[in-house]
């Protein structure tokens, strides 16, 4: 397969203005007819018209009503070409036959649990009919659907329902019309036995919108939280961005078989049911929060993605970076901003940064198509940090004024932000084109005579595949300076680049500022600083970089105890924990005994016992960095040593803080009914982490306690946390409670997936065999992506078992990837990427992983998706 590059973008030769689709859904085959009004981009041109299409049978082809004969067109397995279409506007009619029942790739039109549904982003529409399958082709659609009425009583597509009725032979039909132009990746169709939860939302200009969330009938009670989330999102987008919904109907459909989380099809969002269905008994706080975030995300796409869409797939971050940023802001406003920021940064560190330093590293706007969600959101966040809320809003307003109804690029977004604010963004655009995570070093110096405090920054971006040399980029560094009592010092002015800049104006004291770091090396000198300050750098994580400062451990402990920026309080603890873990890893490797630094213990104890702190903040602050993050910082990643160190620290902390942890559990029980709100979630988070720490002691008392919590829990959050605590340690208690949990919940596939994931991720010795056994469990099915993500994806997260030195974990993944690739290439390629960083490990592991990658590469009929990841990994 040939890689496609950004620089190769060409405008289409033909535009499509209207598309009338007709589907006749059947059990053997589905007939699709498409009538397109085509117009040349350049008047009078008659270049060939090339349509994409695969896995379908062409039945007939007409141009301006005339049927074309073989020879009038060319057909191969991926294209349908009209070598010389008529000049001027013409009508193209295509009749095809497709086989949704056999479509296990879950792209295009397929069946999920008896219902028809679609997934067209990025390039699934070409499995439905021949089309110019690219997002800069925007057309108005109608969609006529006919199907058996008893099997498929509900027929949905984008836009408004204009007509419906019965047909002969037990069939019925529906005709949908979408008044907005859209690219084909936003097309959707659903047909099946579904019931809806209905509600209404009145927009601020008075439009009454019918909201319908569709699922199989038994699941309707579990859609209350999704409906709450949708209404909250609609309100929030009006309040914060002035953006209203633009149709009278908004549908959400939950399906059990879905490759991704959800899809923002115009007015017909299709969701993985994991991200819609929730009840207190079956879904955890994390599930509730994810539903809020993703319902928001897909809804927000209506403006950022649908009304203004991407010119080509290299611009993915234009819609995803921006929409992830918007959903993060929404969730922050609905809960705790600090805790949300911490969770997002943890995600960035655990997923995006490792990728960014490996063979799959890619810029936010890649040179070839690849997904970039989280880092793209960080780039959008930096605009807001630089421009402030109001400036950012102005930029958004200009973006919509200029581009509503268009397919545009990341530069267009940049230009809107710049022009709306008359801003100087220096070399900011490099964030879109440069891959890799910048490393910024900071040294500080206090001059008591001159009462100045200087910060020297130097930055470098390590080379990534295809980009050996990097330029310095624009890094906004939010900061404050703490005095010896821990208070923020007022900042008056800073000397930089030969100029004094005033920070505080009209005598209002200012305690925090944003420095614009744009060069390879530069210095900022603060004046009127009365004593040596402790700098709190990169507040709120104001740029997605790795920061290496000269702060001493005691500075960091001071920040952990006092920083007014809660994010940086957490961060100081994480920096200390990372340092501690790395030094203990070195001790293990040199066969030295492990000793826990008493100052660290003391620091965590004061956090745990500080009643003034938010409970969820405490839970996050006493959580050690993940194994992946630490391995990422090592020359040669040593999963066994990192795992041993993390377990050692947990156990030591549990041992030393046992009393405090026990009272944390006792004081954070509640007999109230489940509530989805910050105080209640924070309480549960703190209780659950205390329980997890205690269970690491492996003593009968802690096991008893966890069992008690398991049995008395009235919601999934607490029940599952207790199960996980017990399951940390091999033995009878573990086996019994896992069996009990399955018996209780075997009727609920979403809960069973949690049960799979928990066992898959387990670090108990020899777990590879357990995972093999679970692959044959009656509830497992390789065709369902959620089950694969739980069992195989979960397994790849275990440092001990996936990375087993005998290669057994890698072998298991290698086998599964090959089986899966025949069914679902997208899911298979996600799984194979667990191998992509194989060079980070020791030689033995390298050899095992490489052997699997080579075996995969030598397999006949490999999909393009898996080929791309496997070949880049080996390159």
User: Which positions are catalytic?
Assistant: 298
Query: Smallest distance from the beta carbon of 298 to ligand DPP, in angstroms?
Result: 6
CA-wise closest residue to 809 among 869, 766, 780:
766
Separation of alpha carbons 612 and 602, rounded Å: 17
> Are 300 and 262 a contacting pair, CB within 8 Å?
no
Q: Give the one entry of ligand DPP, Zn ion, none that residue 263 binds, where binding means its C-beta sits below a cut-off of 5 to 8 angstroms depending on kind.
A: ligand DPP
> Could you tell me how far CA 588 lies from the centroid of its own chain?
35
> 832-863 b/e with 16+ CB inside 10 Å = b?
bbbbbbbebbeeebeebbbebbeebeeeeebb
Should residue 230 be labelled a site residue for ligand DPP when binding is judged by CB under 6 A?
A: no
Should residue 370 be labelled a site residue for ligand DPP when binding is judged by CB under 6 A?
A: no
Residue number with CB closer to Zn ion (331 or 518): 331
Q: Which residue from 134, 181, 266, 297 is in contact with ligand DPP, where contact means CB under 6 A?
A: 297
Residue number with CB closer to ligand DPP (301 or 754): 301
Q: Give the one entry of Zn ion, ligand DPP, none that residue 261 binds, where binding means its C-beta sits below a cut-off of 5 to 8 angstroms depending on kind.
A: ligand DPP
**Span 675-734, contacts to ligand DPP by CB under 6 A:** none
Query: Smallest distance from the beta carbon of 312 to ligand DPP, in angstroms?
Result: 15
Strands 208-215 and 249-255: parallel
Residue number with CB closer to ligand DPP (261 or 797): 261
Residue number with CB closer to ligand DPP (100 or 293): 293
Q: Give the one entry of ligand DPP, Zn ion, none that residue 638 binds, where binding means its C-beta sits below a cut-off of 5 to 8 angstroms depending on kind.
A: none
CA-wise closest residue to 430 among 457, 456, 393, 467:
467
The structure tokens listed for 564 are 């007014």
Q: What are the residues whose beta carbons fall under 8 Å from the beta carbon of 74, sequence distance 6 or more?
A: 80, 81, 83
Separation of alpha carbons 185 and 175, rounded Å: 20
Query: Smallest distance from the beta carbon of 326 to ligand DPP, in angstroms?
Result: 11
Residue number with CB closer to ligand DPP (110 or 457): 110
Query: Smallest distance from the beta carbon of 243 to ligand DPP, in angstroms?
Result: 17
- Annotate each residue in 318-337 with x if it binds Zn ion (CB under 5 A) or - if it does not, as one string: --x--x--------------
Residue number with CB closer to ligand DPP (23 or 258): 258
Work out whether the CA dihedral 562, 563, 569, 571 comes out positive or negative.
Answer: negative
Should residue 266 be labelled a site residue for ligand DPP when binding is judged by CB under 6 A?
A: no
Separation of alpha carbons 717 and 113, rounded Å: 28
Query: Smallest distance from the beta carbon of 256 to ligand DPP, in angstroms?
Result: 16
Residue number with CB closer to ligand DPP (322 or 481): 322
SS3 223: helix
**Span 314-353, contacts to ligand DPP by CB under 6 A:** 320
Residues counted in the chain:
875
**Distance between the two ends of the chain, CA-based, in angstroms?**
16
Q: Give the one entry of ligand DPP, Zn ion, none that residue 121 binds, where binding means its C-beta sits below a cut-off of 5 to 8 angstroms depending on kind.
A: ligand DPP
> Are 544 and 378 a contacting pair, CB within 8 Å?
yes
Q: What are the residues whose beta carbons fall under 8 Å from the beta carbon of 685, sequence distance 6 or more?
A: 285, 615, 616, 619, 620
> Are 327 and 406 a contacting pair, CB within 8 Å?
no
Q: Which residue from 19, 95, 254, 260 is in contact with ligand DPP, where contact means CB under 6 A?
A: 260
The structure tokens listed for 451 are 């009462």
Q: Which residue from 86, 153, 261, 730 is in contact with ligand DPP, where contact means CB under 6 A?
A: 261
CA-wise closest residue to 629 among 618, 616, 642, 619:
642
Work out whether the CA dihedral 132, 136, 139, 141 comes out positive or negative.
Answer: positive
Should residue 107 be labelled a site residue for ligand DPP when binding is judged by CB under 6 A?
A: no
Should residue 298 be labelled a site residue for ligand DPP when binding is judged by CB under 6 A?
A: yes
Q: How many CB atoms lie within 10 A of CB 759?
A: 23
Q: Give the one entry of ligand DPP, Zn ion, none that residue 260 binds, where binding means its C-beta sits below a cut-off of 5 to 8 angstroms depending on kind.
A: ligand DPP
- Annotate each residue in 526-565 with x if it binds ligand DPP (CB under 6 A) or - if it does not, as one string: ----------------------------------------
SS3 458: strand
Number of residues that bind Zn ion (CB under 5 A): 2
Query: Smallest distance from the beta carbon of 294 to ligand DPP, in angstroms?
Result: 8
Q: What are the residues whose beta carbons fall under 8 Å from the beta carbon of 667, sequence distance 6 or more?
A: none
Work out whether the CA dihedral 475, 479, 481, 485 comes out positive or negative.
Answer: negative
Residue number with CB closer to ligand DPP (25 or 276): 276
Q: Give the one entry of Zn ion, ligand DPP, none that residue 632 binds, where binding means its C-beta sits below a cut-off of 5 to 8 angstroms depending on kind.
A: none
Give the DSSP letter of residue 348: I
Per CB under 6 A, the segment of 5-13, 100-108, 294-302, 628-636 that binds ligand DPP is 294-302
Whose tokens are 């699997």? That residue is 852
SS3 756: helix
Q: Give the one entry of ligand DPP, Zn ion, none that residue 20 binds, where binding means its C-beta sits below a cut-off of 5 to 8 angstroms depending on kind.
A: none
> 690-714 b/e with 16+ CB inside 10 Å = b?
bbbbbbbbeeeebbebbbebbeebe
Per CB under 5 A, the segment of 312-320, 418-426, 430-438, 448-456 that binds Zn ion is 312-320
Secondary structure element (H or E) that encloses residue 210, with its range = strand 208-215
- Annotate each residue in 16-35 with x if it binds ligand DPP (CB under 6 A) or - if it does not, as one string: --------------------
Query: Smallest distance from the beta carbon of 269 to ligand DPP, in angstroms?
Result: 9
Query: Smallest distance from the beta carbon of 370 to ligand DPP, in angstroms?
Result: 13
Query: Smallest distance from the beta carbon of 465 to ligand DPP, in angstroms?
Result: 25
Per CB under 6 A, the segment of 228-236, 260-268, 622-630, 799-807 that binds ligand DPP is 260-268
Q: Which residue from 94, 98, 263, 529 is in contact with ligand DPP, where contact means CB under 6 A?
A: 263
The structure tokens listed for 625 are 């960095």
Give the footprint of Zn ion on this chain (CB under 5 A).
Answer: 320, 323
Give the footprint of ligand DPP on this chain (CB under 6 A).
Answer: 121, 260-264, 297-298, 301, 320
């Amino acid at each position: 397969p040939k890689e496609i590059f950004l620089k190769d973008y060409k405008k289409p030769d033909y535009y499509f203005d209207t598309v009338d689709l007709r589907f006749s859904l059947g059990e053997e085959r589905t007939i699709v007819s498409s009538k397109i009004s085509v117009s040349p981009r350049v008047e009078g041109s008659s270049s060939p018209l090339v349509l994409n299409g695969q896995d379908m049978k062409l039945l007939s082809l007409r141009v301006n009503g005339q049927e074309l004969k073989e020879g009038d067109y060319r057909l191969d397995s991926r294209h349908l070409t009209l070598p010389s279409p008529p000049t001027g506007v013409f009508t193209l009619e295509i009749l095809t036959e497709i086989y949704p029942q056999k479509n296990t790739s879950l792209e295009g039109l397929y069946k999920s649990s008896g219902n028809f549904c679609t997934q067209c982003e990025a390039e699934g529409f070409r499995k439905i009919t021949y089309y110019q399958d690219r997002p800069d082709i925007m057309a108005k659609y109608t969609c006529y659907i006919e199907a058996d009425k008893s099997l498929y009583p509900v027929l949905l597509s984008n836009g408004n329902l204009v007509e419906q009725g019965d047909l002969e032979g037990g069939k019925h039909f529906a005709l949908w019309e979408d008044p907005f132009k859209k690219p084909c990746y936003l097309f959707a169709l659903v047909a099946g036995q579904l019931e809806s939860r209905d509600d209404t939302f009145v927009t601020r200009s008075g439009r009454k919108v019918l909201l319908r969330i569709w699922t199989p009938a038994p699941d309707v009670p579990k859609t209350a939280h999704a409906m709450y989330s949708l209404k909250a999102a609609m309100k929030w987008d009006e309040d914060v961005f002035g953006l209203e919904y633009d149709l009278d109907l908004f549908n959400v459909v939950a399906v059990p078989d879905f490759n991704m989380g959800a899809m923002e099809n115009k007015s017909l969002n299709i969701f993985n049911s994991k991200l819609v269905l929730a009840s207190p008994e079956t879904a955890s706080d994390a599930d509730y929060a994810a539903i809020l975030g993703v319902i928001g995300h897909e809804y927000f796409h209506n403006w950022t993605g649908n009304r203004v869409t991407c010119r080509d797939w290299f611009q993915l971050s234009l819609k995803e970076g921006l929409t992830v940023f918007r959903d993060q802001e929404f969730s922050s406003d609905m809960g705790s901003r600090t805790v949300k920021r911490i969770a997002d940064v943890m995600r960035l560190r655990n997923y995006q940064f490792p990728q960014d330093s490996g063979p799959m590293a890619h810029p936010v706007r890649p040179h070839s198509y690849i997904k970039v969600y989280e880092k793209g959101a960080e780039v959008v966040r930096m605009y807001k940090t630089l421009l402030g809320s109001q400036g950012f809003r102005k930029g958004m307003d200009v973006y919509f004024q200029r581009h509503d109804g268009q397919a545009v690029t990341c530069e267009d977004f940049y230009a809107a932000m710049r022009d709306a604010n008359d801003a100087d963004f220096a070399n900011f655009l490099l964030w879109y084109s440069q891959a890799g995570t910048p490393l910024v070093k900071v040294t500080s110096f206090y001059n008591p005579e001159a009462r100045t405090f200087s910060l020297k920054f130097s930055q470098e971006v390590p080379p990534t595949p295809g980009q050996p040399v990097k330029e310095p980029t624009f890094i906004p560094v939010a900061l404050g300076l703490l005095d010896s009592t821990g208070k923020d010092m007022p900042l008056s002015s800073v000397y930089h680049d030969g100029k004094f800049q005033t920070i505080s104006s009209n005598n209002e004291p200012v305690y925090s500022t944003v420095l614009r770091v744009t060069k390879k090396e530069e210095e900022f000198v603060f004046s009127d600083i009365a004593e040596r300050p402790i700098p709190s750098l990169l507040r709120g994580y104001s740029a997605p970089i790795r920061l290496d400062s000269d702060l001493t451990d005691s500075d960091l402990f001071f920040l952990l105890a006092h920083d007014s920026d809660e994010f940086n309080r957490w961060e100081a603890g994480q920096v200390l924990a990372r340092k501690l873990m790395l030094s203990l890893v070195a001790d293990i490797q040199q066969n030295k005994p492990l000793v826990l630094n008493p100052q660290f213990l003391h620091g965590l104890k004061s956090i745990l016992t500080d009643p003034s702190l938010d409970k969820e903040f405490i839970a996050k602050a006493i959580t050690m960095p993940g194994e992946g993050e630490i391995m990422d910082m090592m020359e040669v990643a040593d999963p066994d040593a990192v795992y041993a160190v993390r377990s050692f620290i947990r156990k030591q902390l549990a041992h030393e803080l046992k009393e405090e942890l026990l009272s944390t559990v006792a004081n954070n029980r509640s007999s109230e009914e489940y509530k989805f709100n910050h105080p209640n979630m924070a309480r549960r988070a703190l209780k659950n982490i205390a329980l997890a720490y205690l269970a690491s002691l492996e003593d009968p008392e802690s096991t008893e306690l966890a069992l008690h919590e398991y049995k008395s829990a009235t919601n999934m959050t607490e029940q599952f946390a207790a199960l996980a605590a017990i399951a940390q340690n091999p033995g009878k208690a573990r086996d019994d409670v896992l069996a009990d949990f399955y018996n209780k919940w075997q009727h609920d596939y979403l809960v069973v997936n949690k049960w799979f994931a928990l066992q898959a991720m387990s670090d108990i010795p020899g777990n590879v065999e357990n995972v093999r056994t679970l692959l044959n469990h009656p509830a497992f099915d390789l065709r369902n992506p959620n089950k694969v993500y739980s069992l195989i994806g979960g397994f790849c997260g275990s440092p001990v078992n996936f990375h087993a030195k005998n290669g057994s974990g890698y072998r298991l993944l290698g086998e599964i990837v090959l089986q899966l690739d025949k069914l679902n290439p997208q899911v298979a390629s996600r799984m194979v990427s667990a191998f992509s960083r194989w060079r980070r490990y020791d030689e033995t592991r390298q050899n095992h992983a490489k052997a699997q990658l080579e075996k995969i590469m030598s397999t006949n009929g490999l999909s393009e998706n898996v080929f791309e990841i496997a070949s880049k990994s080996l390159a």
